[in-house]
Amino acid sequence: MAKIAFIGLGIMGKPMSRNLLKAGHSVVVYDVTPAPIAELVTAGAKAVPNSRDAASQGDVIITMLPDGPEVEAAVLGPGGILEGASKGSVVVDMSSISPVVAQKVGAACAAKGVDFLDAPVSGGEPKAIEGTLAIMVGGDTKVFERVQPILQNMGASVTLTGPVGAGNVTKLANQIMVACNIAAMGEALTLATRAGLDPEVVFNAVKGGLAGSTVLNAKAPMVISRNFQPGFRIALHQKDLRNALLAAESMKVSLPLTSTVQQMLMALMNDGKGNLDHSAIVMFLEKMAGVEIKKAASAKA
């Protein structure tokens, strides 16, 4: 069993930490918010006051933070991980950040003799709770093989996709596919509802065909029941698409669909919906059409 430091105990980090405890690992935890720390201490974790102290007590230091600036602060900043990490320890950043930032942090770790992997995840809160996340890893093969058994306590699939930064490129590709799928689903169900059909019947009719997908199966029922409790927030998906567009610009790659959906997400954030689940992308389309996706008996004509 490993000695693990886990930094970042939000919607995703808290259940991921809990799964490491269930697997029998020794886990120290740190977050800027006290409540999740208290919950995990009750579950068997040890609390520490900052990232430096967390790193000093872990052979593997995992971060799960909102974006690149938070990762840089936690790893490189005062009281940060590199002030406490020992030579030969491994930092695994499971946040979804820019590949450029991942490479910067990885280089700083290497200069201190600390190994680094970028290992963002997909699956949202439900799969974080189940321990069935898809984990996309960038880094050295030997370092990956060392940490892979730990990652398997949190994920159903753990895949090395290339060198440092490749994990986050893969995650950006994932986020493009998910966002565009939700937007397409929203357009389709808006059309069906406007035509007077029951969107639940339409969903059941198409889910077994070529249009069926994990995204459709997870998000259509949420939309139809008007349940937008966040498994993954609009604001975070907007951040991911922004990072995808910045990466694409640096490589001179055109992403027209991504750009359009990112603008939808920005509009929803400006409308006060940034903390809703990303299935609420459909609200942008509903507003344009003047129709709400729900059962035909109560849908607007």
pLDDT tops 50 at residue 114: yes
Type of residue found at 18: R
Quickly state the pLDDT bin for 301 (edges 50, 70, 90). very low
Cα separation, 174 vs 167, whole angstroms: 11
Report which secondary-structure segment, H or E, holds 126.
helix 124-130
3 is catalytic: no
* DSSP 3-state percent helix, strand, coil across the chain (nearest 5): 55, 15, 30
Domains defined along the chain, listed by start:
3-163 (3.40.50.720), 169-298 (1.10.1040.10)
Which of 14, 104, 171, 239 is flagged as catalytic?
171
The model's pLDDT over 4-60, given as tens digits with 9 standing for 90+, comes to: 999 999 999 999 999 999 999 999 999 999 999 999 999 999 999 999 999 999 999
4 neighbors 60 (Cβ within 8 angstroms): yes
Quickly count: other Cβ atoms within 10 Å of residue 247's Cβ. 18
